[in-house]
């Protein structure tokens, strides 16, 4: 897996927004620092998990939070330097099963960005679900 950069992510965001039929995902490794911070705070071990950004999730964010789409390019900074993190549990509307999500918060110039990543246990993936600026 090649090293993913902020420019790669920004290009992926542009393609995903401009082509509604585009269906791909970016995978990246979580840094040891991020894994350790999450384990220290939430007692969740994400060793060997991959981060995932899908074109579908980007379009979902664009639809619901169009002014906040540019923060996807900062996903590494949000993960590496989050100011707050919490775990939430939601119910899958289709299956009724419980879904564990991690909410990463990062403050930029008095604005707090909330990044929600869905934890997929069996596949060892931490998938981008949504991202927006909290009021």
CB 113 within 8 A of CB 106: yes
What pLDDT is recorded for position 118?
84
Mean pLDDT across 128-134: 92
Output DSSP code: residue 73.
G
CB 56 within 8 A of CB 72: no
Token couple for 123: 């596949």
Q: What is the pLDDT of residues 98-123, one digit of tens each?
A: 888 999 999 988 889 998 898 887 79
Rounded CA-CA distance 15/13 in Å is 6
Backbone angles phi, psi at 110, to 5 degrees: 70, 5
How far from chain centre, in Å, is Cα 64? 15
pTM (2 decimals)? 0.90
Question: Which ranges of 65-102 does DSSP label H, i.e. alpha helix?
Answer: 75-80
pLDDT reading at 1 higher than 80: no
C-beta atoms surrounding 79 within 10 Å? 23
Q: What is the pLDDT of residues 50-95, one digit of tens each?
A: 999 999 999 999 999 999 999 999 999 999 999 999 999 888 888 8
């Amino acid at each position: 897996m090649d090293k993913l950069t902020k420019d790669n992510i920004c290009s992926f965001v542009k393609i995903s927004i401009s082509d509604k039929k585009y269906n791909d995902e970016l995978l990246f490794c979580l840094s040891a620092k991020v894994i350790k911070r999450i384990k220290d705070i939430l007692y969740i071990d994400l060793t060997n998990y991959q981060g995932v950004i899908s074109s579908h999730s980007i379009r979902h964010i664009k639809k619901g939070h169009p002014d906040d789409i540019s923060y996807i390019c900062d996903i590494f900074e949000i993960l590496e330097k989050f100011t707050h993190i919490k775990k939430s549990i939601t119910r899958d509307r289709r299956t009724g099963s419980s879904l564990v999500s991690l909410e990463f918060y990062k403050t930029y110039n008095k604005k707090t960005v909330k990044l929600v990543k869905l934890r997929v246990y069996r596949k060892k993936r931490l998938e981008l679900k949504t991202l927006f600026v909290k009021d």
